Structure 1
Amino acid sequence: MKAHIDLTRCDGYANCVLEADRVFDVDESTGQAVLLLADIPGELAGDARRARESCPAQAIRLDG
């Protein structure tokens, strides 16, 4: 599974970090989400899905 963040949509809510802190973080200089892992290992797939679902801006896309 691959994760993508649409930075034109990301408003820095950081819900993704709360759900998947080993996959996402927040860039302190921009306030937007950053990927720690673009290729999500199987054991973190559920966390990544919860992060996508919790994003109010719908800025996260998961492929695969």
Structure 2
Amino acid sequence: MRAHIDLDRCQGYGNCVLEADVFDIDDSTGQAYVRVADIPAELADDVRRSESSCPAHAIRVED
């Protein structure tokens, strides 16, 4: 599983950071980024929650 952030859509709300250890906010841009290239199975539910909770719909998750 992999996650991608669309930086054209990301507004830096931070909802993704609250849900999963996979995401963080870049201090210089204020936008989210993916910290983990290959997401482990035990974080799959958290990552899906992050995807659905992003108000800007900037997260895309691929299995």
TM superposition score category, shorter chain reference = over 0.9
Q: Structure 2: which 5+ residue stretches go unaligned? A: none
Counterparts of 1:19 and 1:50, CA distance in 2? 7
Q: C-alpha offsets along residues 1-38 of structure 1, whole Å, 9 cap, x if unaligned?
A: 11100000000000000111x10000011000011112
Counterparts of 1:7 and 1:38, CA distance in 2? 17
Aligned runs of 1:4-19 on 2, under 5 Å? 4-19=4-19
The runs of 4+ residues in structure 1 deviating greater than 6 Å are none
Please provide the CA RMSD for this pair. 0.6
Q: Structure 1: which 5+ residue stretches go unaligned? A: none
Aligned position for 1:30: 29
Shift of 1:41: 0.5
TM-score by length of 1: 0.95
Counterparts of 1:6 and 1:38, CA distance in 2? 15
- Give the letter aligned to residue 10 of structure 2: C
- What number of residue pairs does the alignment pair up? 63
Residue identity (%)? 67
Kept after mapping to 2: 8 A contact 1:4/1:38: no
